[in-house]
Amino acid sequence: MRRALLVVAVAVSLLLGAISLLVPTPVAAQAETGPMADKITFIEIVDEAI
């Protein structure tokens, strides 16, 4: 169960990261809401779920 949650969180964060790279946004805004910010958010969600 724990591994499945982790796999889902990583898959969603990678998807959001790819979408944020495809959508044209200013570089400064992307630095704050880019793939790494999404990963940090989903890691926090997974930690809370576990």
Summarised one tens digit per residue, pLDDT across range 4-36 is: 888 888 888 877 776 666 665 555 455 555 555
CA distance 2 to 21: 29
Distances (CA, A) of 41 to 2, 13: 17, 9
**CB–CB of 6/42 below 8 Å?**
no
CA distance 42 to 16: 11
Split into its structural domains, the chain has a count of 1
**CB–CB of 49/28 below 8 Å?**
no
Q: Please tell me the predicted confidence (pLDDT) of residue 28.
A: 47
Residue 3 has pLDDT above 80, yes or no: yes
> Which residues form the domain of 23?
2-49
Higher pLDDT, 34 or 44: 44
